[in-house]
Amino acid sequence: MNGTAVLHSIIDGVLTGSVYALMATGLTLIFGVMNIINVAQGIFVILGAYLSYALSVHLGIDLFVGLAITIPTLFVVGIVVERVFLSRIKGPERVVMSILVTYAISLVIEGVLNMVFSANYVELHAWYANRSVRVFGFYLGYIYLLGFGLAVVLLGALYVMLYRTRFGSSVRASLADQTAAALIGINVRRVSTICFGLGVAVTAAGGMIYGATNAFNASSSYDLISRLLVIIVLGGMGSIGGALVAGIMMITIEDLVSVVWGPVWSNLAFFLILVVVLSLRPQGLFGKPSVRVA
């Protein structure tokens, strides 16, 4: 182990972590506004990756250009899922029911993807996927830099939407207090549906980067969702800032542990940090105690 390797792992972690932060932001936004834990977020990421794969392999569309199709497609998928399945879940068991319903949705999508694409691992290819640039004496893959740029742009767009628009005000109000939001005229139902759409739409971008940096099949969704859930729980359920910080932090630490102690320890470190942080701060890093009782 040397300094360069450590620096490399930190930079790698930040670049990859930003993509996880993006995917986790979608998940935490959905929970914050709707009190729904969307365990289908992992399979949506894989669906996004397969959509990029199909566009690239069958139509020769560049991965980034393809996002102009895959992001709106997953937005619509999210809207339909919310309207058809999730909007029907009401009452005190909403959170638990949402886990079951989204898990069922996840299984259905996984089955369909296995039927269409088989269970063989695939990877997304593009001219920039295997090239790298030398920085500080080590190589950084173009795709990681591009992924980081994409995450920054999309998170920036999300920030502008949340803090500079009328719709953003209605989202933040609904995040804070749904009854109070309804009493000032915010259509909380509509906000919820659009937020679910947006939360799922970001997985198209996340999925594309994931698919270009990892070989994947439909079952890869399980590893993804467990990481994403850890990130949003650690950041504080419903906290967008928390998802950002925890996303970057966790992946960076994982990479760092992998370099310092070896790859076998990285997964353990990931979940160990969760246990330690939650035992000290049960509400997560940026969560508020007792704001939401699941």
Partner 1 sequence: MSTSTTFLTFDGIVAGYGGGDVLRGVDFTVHEGGVTCIVGPNGSGKSTLLKTVSGLLHPRLGQIVFKGTALVGKTPREILKLGIVQVPQQHSLFREMSVEENVSLGAFLVRDRAEVARRLSSVREMFPIVASRAKDKAGSLSGGQQRLVEFARCLMLEPELVVLDEPSMGLDPKTLRSMFDTIKLMNEMGRTVLLVEQNARQALKLSHHGVVLENGQVRLSGTGKEVLNNPEIGALYLGGTIKAGPEMHPDVTMEETD
What distance in Å separates the CA atoms of residue 220 and residue 45, rounded to the nearest whole number? 9
Q: Do 213 and 144 touch, CB atoms closer than 8 A?
A: yes
Is 180 a residue that touches partner 1 (CB under 8 A)?
Answer: yes
Site map 182..211 versus partner 1, x via CB under 8 A: xxxxxx------------------------
Residue 148 or 286: which CB sits closer to partner 1? 286
How far apart CA 132 and CA 123 sit, in angstroms, is: 17
173 binds partner 1 (CB under 8 A): yes
Site residue total, partner 1 (CB under 8 A):
15
Which CB atom, from 181 or from 253, has the smaller least distance to partner 1?
181
The smaller minimum CB distance to partner 1, of residues 65 and 180, is found at 180
Q: Of 3-11, 176-184, 200-208, 256-264, which segment contacts partner 1 by CB under 8 A?
A: 176-184
Least separation in angstroms between CB 184 and partner 1: 5
* 232 and 246 Cβ atoms separated by less than 8 Å: yes
Is residue 179 within the footprint of partner 1 (CB under 8 A)?
yes
CB of 25 to partner 1, least distance (A): 17
Q: Determine which residue in the list 38, 170, 192, 221 makes contact with partner 1, applying CB under 8 A.
A: 170
Whole-number Å distance between alpha carbons of 103 and 98: 8
290 counts as binding partner 1 under rule CB under 8 A: no
Q: Are 9 and 269 in contact (CB under 8 A)?
A: no
The position carrying tokens 């850890």 is: 230
Question: How far is it, in rounded angstroms, from Cα 188 to Cα 191?
Answer: 5
Closer to partner 1 by CB, 43 or 244: give it.
244
**Contact between 293 and partner 1 (CB under 8 A)?**
no
Pick the piece of the chain touching partner 1 (CB under 8 A) from 44-52, 168-176, 218-226, 246-254: 168-176
Q: Which stretch binds partner 1 (CB under 8 A): 115-123, 146-154, 174-182, 267-275?
A: 174-182
> Looking at 83, 94, 172, 292, which residue binds partner 1 (CB under 8 A)?
172
The least distance separating partner 1 from the CB of residue 176, rounded to whole angstroms, comes to 4
List Cα–Cα distances, 253 to 3, 223, 250, 256, 281, in angstroms.
Answer: 15, 17, 5, 5, 19
Contact status: 178 vs partner 1 (CB under 8 A): no
- Which residues contribute to the site for partner 1 (CB under 8 A)? 166, 169-170, 172-173, 176-177, 179-180, 182-187
